[in-house]
Amino acid sequence: MKWLEAVFIYGHMIKFSHSVFALPFALSGAALAATRSGLRPAQVGWIALAMVAARSAAMGFNRLVDRRLDAANPRTHNRELPRGVVTPLAVGLFVVLSSGLLILAAHQLNPLCFYLSPLALAILFFYSLTKRFTWTSHLFLGLSLGGAPLGAWLAVAGRFDLPPVVLGLAVLAWVAGFDIIYACQDYDHDQGAGLHSIPVRFGIGPSLWLARLLHLISLLLLALLGQLMGLGALYLAGLGVIAALLIWEHRLVRAEDLSALDMAFFTMNGIISTVYFAFTLADLLFLGEAVLWL
């Protein structure tokens, strides 16, 4: 069926399966906010739709503006746009549709989310342009995904607060760290193409150490969040599991051997975000303030 083939093509183009990176953190933000404001099942659905739509719009825009860069990169030249499997016009329409779904979901959540949805899209789209002029592009990607738990908190509580900001900063540091690791595989191409990244600016070895530092900062911020929210032993156990996974991730990748990079990036980071949500929710339900369904 043609529609099923189209779903597969666009899902593969935006790497839909990688939504697992940010969605568990968004759900964690919603669960934490629920301890103060309650939570309705419909809110969870709209939050999930907003997350998927935001990521789809961002990835579609990234593929669209990077199509010529992707065509010149041996690692990415087989992507759908460089191969002509989809057209720029079709991807542009996909981005518009995804953006519209995000705005719709935000409108269904509350006025604050609706008013902030254009800003969220601007941040998501801006990231795709940053590697053309700054080596801090990894931090902008972290900002894009770090907005997920903050947005989910706003969706539930309808107001800003310190805990979601701390969680957002933790996600920012976590994402920036693993994106630095991921960028190491494009070191030669990016250097030759005049693109900016931390590995190009500082070299692969120092960049891997910077990624480790960012992940340490992320863990410390998550620990601070636990203190702010009064979370207990299960939450701390989850942080222990995450610390072990991060150590394993960094042991998989070395400056002289990047062969295990895909496993470190795709497998480990999906596990880490899921583990965080599972232990946070378990702590809230069994040791702390249960999530209230209203």
Residue 62 in tokens = 């990234």
Percent of the chain scored above 70 by pLDDT? 87
pLDDT at position 121 = 96
Q: For 192-218, give the DSSP string.
A: HHT---HHHHH-HHHHHHHHHHHHHHH
Residue 294 has pLDDT above 50, yes or no: no
Per-residue pLDDT tens over the stretch 52-82: 999 999 999 999 999 999 889 888 888 888 8
- pLDDT digit string, tens, across residues 50-60: 999 999 999 99
For residue range 86-107, list pLDDT tens digits in order.
Answer: 899 999 999 999 999 999 999 9
Q: 15-29, 38-52, 230-244: lowest mean pLDDT where?
A: 15-29
Burial class (CB in 10 A: 0-12, 13-18, 19+), 78: exposed
> What percentage of the chain exceeds 90 in pLDDT?
68
Domains and CATH numbers, the chain: 2-286 (1.10.357.140)
pLDDT tens for 110-143 read 999 999 999 999 999 999 999 999 999 999 999 9
Beta-carbon contacts of residue 61 (< 8 Å; ≥ 6 apart): 95, 124, 125, 128
Q: Which residues contact 128 (CB under 8 A, 6 or more apart)?
A: 58, 61, 62, 65, 66
| Tokens at 67, concatenated | 């199509």
Q: Decide which of 19 and 22 is more confident.
A: 22
Q: Kindly report the average pLDDT of the chain as a whole number.
A: 89
- Cα(208)–Cα(139) distance, rounded to whole angstroms? 15
pLDDT digits (tens, 9 = 90+) for 158-169: 999 999 999 999
Residue 167 to residues 34, 75, 115, 222, 227: CA-CA distances in angstroms?
Answer: 15, 33, 22, 6, 12
Q: What pTM did the predictor assign?
A: 0.92
